[in-house]
Structure 1
Amino acid sequence: MTVLPLAARSVGAANLPVIDIAGLSSSRQEKRAEVGDALRQICLDKGFFYCSGHGIPEGLINAVFDEMKAFFSRPEQEKLAVDKTKSFCNRGYEILRGQTLEAGAPPDLKEGYYVGVELAEDDPRVVARRFNRGPNQWPDDQPGFRPVMMAYFAAMLELGERLMRGMALSLGLPETYFDGYSRDPLGTLRLLHYPPQPPDAAPNEKGAGAHTDFGGLTLLMQDQVGGLQVHDSTTGNWIHADPIPGTYVVNLGDMIARWTNDRYRSTLHRVVNDSGRERYSVPFFFVGNPDHRVECLPNCLQTGETPKYPPTTVEDHLKAMYERTYTPPSTAI
């Protein structure tokens, strides 16, 4: 097992830039194209950036943090009443150390909560037991939790679709190119609570092990505690992605790398909460339509180059990723 040092260095915005995406909502094509050009540069580099001009109301973001903190402060038995093992579609509470993102490392020192697209039991996609399709679980005696999370979920779906149009422009494609992917998506909202890194932590134990994300785009809202670290493949070092108020941290997932034959980066990242405080973060995974075909874009192939990955679908790709990270650590690959 290779142990990755937990130390990281801080860097400025020159390394993880802030991109104002307000231009994607402009009626002027040149303003939208300017954002596409900016996205192209960072996607060819680390695939990580801060996103401002997103338009998500601060009051809604604050309400999400208030509700999640209230939930995670509840007694363990109350949280287990909505344990995701009771859900056939991976919704609800995930226990501390319930996931292992880094093969060979101890389980992640975090607890979480999964929210997805709300579908009724009699919906045909639910009856057919399509992957991650079904109703959410909601905690009792916390009446604000459901409406806040669903309002935030809807806002993030719209933001994800907007960013995918920017991604299309960045690749020299029509800005509607990924609209089929964005239709009826499998977006997933995760609420995450990281206890402080214990002084007697097991070797290589972290809040979240080194990993790349599974899907298309990840939009992370983090509190002011910090702890997110991004791997710099040029130097081999880990760098801090310190919180910048009013911004999301956006990173590309494995499906974008697959689409672009690895021209666009899906970068390793991890969480080390050595602050001595509780850390909370809210990643939203804009994953896309489960039936959408993912195969190498022809304009991403260099002369004489062949695709590195066979065609797949969003659903098949996700199934493979979930099986890998929820395998018991002793048999993880």
Structure 2
Amino acid sequence: MLEAMRVSQTSLPVIDIAGLSSPKLSDRQAVAARLRAACLHNGFFYISNHGIDEALVNDVFAEAAAFFALPAEVKAEVDKSRSKANRGYEPLQGQTLEPGAPPDLKEGYYIGPEHASDDARVLAGMFNHGANQWPASRPRFKLVMEAYLNVMLELSARMMRGIALSLDLPEDYFAGYCTDAMATVRLLHYPPQPAHGNPAQKGAGAHTDFGGLTLLRQDDIGGLQVWNQGTGGWIHADPVPGTYVVNLGDMIARWTNDSYRSTLHRVVNASGRERYSVPFFYTGNYAHKVECIPTCLSPGEQPKYPPITVEEHMRAMYRRTYK
């Protein structure tokens, strides 16, 4: 079933996060209270007044569309298979997010923090650490994507301070996690869903995200669908101009003993048009230990999961979707 209901802001609220930048703790706590309600409900919400320059966002989408329009042989020059750090181009149907379903009807491009070949983490073989690949035919691509990566790292760290407050923790509780943080800018292109294609094949199969936070910018096409925990059905997360759709990943659910939700979502591009989106996956410091947060345990309750490092968690998640 590919149908979904239209979203209401009761299910996916729009949270104004300007208060997270306020010098007043009460303003930051007010935003944190709204974050807490959304994270306990289904872990999906929109954020507005986030401070990211819309001109930069437009540049990111323009460069993404221009890259995906290149000939296949040109895109293959920066194929992800050439990278030890999972950076570069991923061809159409290169990933299967939903177990048992056909490969996803999308192509992508992975960009992350730059690590030189002599970086200690690269020499140690730390997962996903290394150099990016850049398309030679798009001279502005690197400049735009690096600028976007940097501002999104700052926004994500700000969001984690809000998440800490929402859990009745010190605001800097996740400071170590946010130091030398790993993240991925992922450019995605979804061709239109074929009219008479396999009904089980989607742009992105139903899945939860792997890491900490995902901050998604969509074009105006739509297609993102979120599983509604309350009604047991799919709802559209329609584009809201100027906002990000934010969702929690499996690692935050694990950290909070599943009190904060990592929720199934998928993409079905039934628009008949090309769809582009840019998720930003904030993963954090790969050496950081993730263990149950004390404020997420009721008296007498035990952690559901043993401690794990971010790197160990991410290796396990990649094994799940890349065979």
Q: How would you bin the TM-score normalised by the shorter chain?
A: over 0.9
Q: 2:238 aligns with which of 227, 238, 242?
A: 242
What is the CA-CA distance between 1:11 and the residue it aligns to? 2.0
Q: Which residue among 43, 47, 51 is the counterpart of 1:51?
A: 47
Distance, in Å, in 2 between the alignment partners of 1:124 and 1:314 is 17
What's the counterpart of residue 73 of structure 1? 69
Give the counterpart of 2:302 among 298, 303, 306: 306
Secondary structure, counterpart of 2:188 in structure 1: strand
Report Cα offsets for 1:117-146 as digits up to 9, x if no partner: 011112121122211100000001211000
After superposition, residues 1-333 of structure 1 pair within 5 angstroms as: 5-327=1-323
Which aligned runs of 4 or more in structure 1 are off by greater than 3 angstroms?
none
TM-align CA RMSD: 0.7
2-side partners of 1:119 and 1:304: how far apart? 44
Normalised TM-score (structure 1): 0.96
Give the TM-score of the pair, scaled to structure 2. 0.99
Q: Which runs of 5+ in 2 are unaligned?
A: none
Structure 1 spans left out of the alignment, 5+ residues: 328-333
> Structure 2 CA distance, aligned partners of 1:23 and 1:319?
35
Which piece of structure 1 moves more, 106-115 or 297-306?
297-306
1:30, 1:207 → 2: CA distance? 42
- Cα drift, residue 162 of structure 1: 0.2
Letter in 2 for 1:170: S
> Identity across aligned pairs (percent)?
66
The whole-number CA distance in structure 2 between the counterparts of 1:301 and 1:246 is 36
SS in 1 for 2:176: helix
Matches of 1:292 and 1:178 in 2, distance apart? 10
Deviation at residue 304 of structure 1 after TM alignment: 2.2
Q: What secondary structure, in the 3-state scheme, does the structure 2 residue paired with 1:81 have?
A: helix
What is the deviation of 1:290? Answer: 0.3
Secondary structure class of the residue paired with 1:206: coil
Aligned pair count reads: 323
